[in-house]
Amino acid sequence: MCGIVGYVGSQRAVPVLINGLLSLEYRGYDSAGLAVLNNKNIDVFKNQGRVKNLTDNFDLDSVASKVGIAHTRWATHGKPSDLNAHPHLDNSKTFAVVHNGIIENYDKVKKFLIANGYELYSQTDTEVIPNLVHYYYNKLTNDVEFRQAQMLTYSTRYSSVDDVLLALRCATGDLTGSYAIELLASFSPDQVYIAKKDSPMVVGSGEGENFIASDIPAILQHTKNFYFIEDGELGIVKPDGVTFFNGSLEKINKELKSIEWDAEASEKNGFDDYMLKEIFEQPRAIRETIGTSIVDNAIALPELDGVDFKKFNMIYIVACGTAMHAGLATKSIFENLAHIPTIVDMASEFRYRNPLIDDKTLCVFISQSGETADTIAALKLAKEQGATTISVVNVIGSSITRVSDYVLYTHAGPEIAVASTKAFTCQVTTLSILAMEIASKRIGSSIDSKIKELCKELSHIPDKVKEVLDNADEMKSLAKELYKSKDVYFTGRGFDAYVATEGALKLKEISYIHADSYPSGEFKHGPIALIEKDVPVIGIATNEDINAKTVSNLLELLTRGANVTLVTNQKIENPEIQHTVKIPECSPLFASILAIVPLQLLSYYVAKEKGLDVDKPRNLAKSVTVE
């Protein structure tokens, strides 16, 4: 959660910081703030609410500083308020900090600081950081024995080390939890100090200027060259360069990587909202995802050449939220094609139940951002227990990609809206291709013709998604009927049950309507008690082998008064069903990619009918980087 930005260079810092925060609001928008260096003073501007409030409430045009840090907050410790907004200062106003993460032992550190004469004013965990840095800086500059001890600990390979950096390292050594920290020192006029553990951070390199951010899109308009910061690393960012250090404060060299994302991909490009833009980008995103993995109707995944798929007796697919639904939507593809038991598990529970995994287990982890804290923790556990790990990720160089044994990138491009859309369809596409690859390697030539046929089928999916989008007005009309509903239920069988689950999540995320999903056959085992006159039910039926069962279950709900909408690619004509939404025919294995699109559109248009902020739904953030 939360987004951080930093700048040092030759231009005014404030416009860079504000634009960066606006790009990062999907990570949190409970409050926002920035701090800049001004003649050996630190000026702080912050308030509750959106980033726009900063420019509305403060005269930032007059701030000439060329060095600054900034933060947009998703509240964890302390309610959204001006006082709890970042940046936070130490008592002497010597140091300012912005922080993404959670300091799990902040109460212990807070008590230590109070015992040493410090006062803390906010409810946040972050406020302990600048005060702890100040505590150690004071000891380093006033206690000769302490300084010598620290220099011996952290500076054995060269004669001196920056005192602020050393104080920051001492402070982080006392912290338990996660952090991406940017720190200003009032007496250091041209630099920002950074430290990272379990929270994302990148440094963008420019000509005579450098940038810091949680995510690439925040600074992509300024540079395409990035350093990816690893856990335990620290740095000093100056206009003319960046010096990186490991946890022992030994200087390290980091590779500068070029990111080929188009900065315009982060803009709305004429759409009212990012979510609608990203829904309509799905044909291109899916096509590019397919194009990197299928050549001449054959799977081409050279990044997995080192994997012996025949040795595995179990697959775990582990993820959170929408990414987990992508795993559920493809579970049967792995089992039906590759003939291997597959378990889909939510990352937040995975490591707390001692999963039975070993070196014959393949663990597949899914994350759009590559920074999902629960998924990273589950990935590390799987590696500790000897499992082979493959991650399906959208963001190059993200934390998960650097931990996993193997990585498959989706090619969705930047996804800014909090409610995920194109990431889901690209994840389902990538997982389907992975399932075909595993099947091919495990079963051999006897399945080659089937894989070729499926590859050909998959190549047509982007055009079929466009067909669905061409009929978007149908969902806009349906939204005008549904937006006043208090409850909506989604249902389906087989693959369709998981499309229903994702459809319900989309609706509740952005419209705040209570939405639940149940496999069609389960309604009669309890949930049917919730059905009364005119309650909307969205049914999905895309598999001719079981559609009759789904329709039968829907008719049961109709007799109880439900208002039924059926999403189908089959010729199902039933005059009792109030609405039928047709999607193109395709293999049941890939129908999830098509069936979810009208449900994404429906959720979007319902939220718009209610006048809600579609891109930034309440209480949510895009990348969940805390557990």
User: What value does the mean pLDDT of the chain take?
Assistant: 90
Exposed/middle/buried for residue 284 (C-beta within 10 Å: 0-12, 13-18, 19+): middle
User: Is a pLDDT exceeding 80 seen at residue 266?
Assistant: no
Percentage of the chain surpassing pLDDT 70?
96
SS3 490: strand
pLDDT band at 619 (very low <50, low <70, confident <90, very high): confident
Contacts of 553 (CB under 8 A, 6+ apart): 491, 493, 520, 521, 523, 524, 539
Is residue 170 flagged as an active site residue? no
426 & 500 share domain:
no
Contacts of 621 (CB under 8 A, 6+ apart): 1, 2, 26, 27, 28, 74, 418
Tell whether 290 and 194 lie within a shared domain: no
User: Average of pLDDT values for 539-545?
Assistant: 90
Mean pLDDT of 582-605: 95
Q: What is the pLDDT of residues 190-210, one digit of tens each?
A: 999 999 998 889 999 999 999
Q: Which of 429, 478, 486 is nearest to 454 (CA)?
A: 429
Structural domain including 517 reads 472-613
Q: At what angle do helices 591-609 and 495-511 cross, to 10 degrees?
A: 20
User: Is residue 184 domain-shared with residue 98, that is, in the same domain?
Assistant: yes
Report if residue 39 sits inside a domain: no
Residue 626 has pLDDT above 70, yes or no: no
Which of 400, 431, 459 is where one domain is finished?
459
Block residue for tokens 């496999």: 519
Please indicate whether residue 66 is annotated as part of the active site. no
**Catalytic entry in 2, 170, 320, 363:** 2
Q: What is the pLDDT of residues 564-578, one digit of tens each?
A: 999 999 887 777 788
Is the omega angle on the peptide bond into residue 536 within 30 degrees of 0, that is, cis?
no
Using one digit for the tens of pLDDT, what is the confidence trace for 386-442? 999 999 998 877 889 889 999 999 988 778 888 999 999 999 999 999 999 999 999
Residue 585 lies in a domain: yes
Span 346-401, pLDDT tens digits: 999 998 888 899 999 999 999 998 888 899 999 999 999 999 999 999 887 788 98
- Of 246, 261, 276, which residue constitutes the final position of a domain? 261
Instruction: Kindly report, residue by residue over 163-187, the tens digit of the pLDDT.
Output: 999 999 999 999 998 899 999 999 9
Q: What is the pLDDT of residues 36-83, one digit of tens each?
A: 998 889 999 999 888 888 888 999 998 999 999 999 887 777 788 889
Whether 202 is covered by a domain: the verdict is yes
For residues 364 and 448, membership in a common domain is answered with yes
- Tens of pLDDT, residue by residue over 104-119, are 898 999 999 999 999 9
591 with 498, same domain: the answer is yes
What is the secondary structure of 606-619 as a DSSP string? HHHHTT--SSS-TT
Q: For residue 71, which of 93, 89, 56 has the smallest C-alpha distance?
A: 89
**DSSP bridge partners of 179:** 197, 198
pLDDT at site 275: 94
- Contact (Cβ atoms closer than 8 angstroms) between residue 447 and residue 440: yes
The confidence score (pLDDT) of residue 261 equals: 62
pLDDT at 263: 56
What confidence tier does 226 reach under pLDDT thresholds 50, 70, 90?
very high
How many other CB atoms sit within 10 Å of the CB of residue 149? 11
Domain count, the chain: 3
Question: pTM of the prediction?
Answer: 0.71
Q: Are residues 337 and 248 in the same domain?
A: no
Is 323 part of any domain? yes
Residue 625 has pLDDT above 70, yes or no: no
Residue 618: inside a domain, yes or no?
Answer: no
Of the chain, the percentage scoring pLDDT greater than 90 comes to 63
Inform me whether the pLDDT recorded for 525 exceeds 50: yes
Tokens 């206690």: give the residue. Answer: 143
* 5 domain-assigned: no
Residue 232 shares a structural domain with residue 281:
no
Which CATH number goes with the domain that contains 354?
3.40.50.10490
| Residue, of 92 and 288, whose pLDDT is higher | 92
d(CA 174, CA 541): 55
Q: Is residue 343 part of a domain?
A: yes
For residues 602 and 476, state if they share a domain.
yes
Residue 506 has pLDDT above 80, yes or no: yes
307, 410: one domain = yes
pLDDT at 155: 62
Q: Is 17 inside any structural domain?
A: no
Residues 246 and 274 in one domain: no
Q: What is the CATH number of the domain that holds 203?
A: 3.60.20.10
How high is the pLDDT of residue 265? 58
The yes-or-no verdict on residue 144 having pLDDT over 60 is yes
Q: What pLDDT is recorded for position 627?
A: 47
According to the model, what pLDDT value does residue 1 have?
Answer: 64
Domain shared by 450 and 536, yes or no: no
Which of 459, 490, 521 is the C-terminal boundary of a domain? 459
Please give the Cα distance from 559 to 345 (Å, whole number): 36
The pLDDT-based confidence of 264 (bands split at 50, 70, 90) is: low
> Are residue 296 and residue 253 in the same domain, yes or no?
no
Catalytic entry in 66, 110, 196, 622: 622
Cα dihedral angle (167, 198, 153, 146), rounded to 10 degrees?
Answer: 30
336 compared with 416, residue with greater pLDDT: 336
How far apart, in whole angstroms, are the C-alpha atoms of residue 104 and residue 455? Answer: 47
Give the per-residue pLDDT at 362.
97
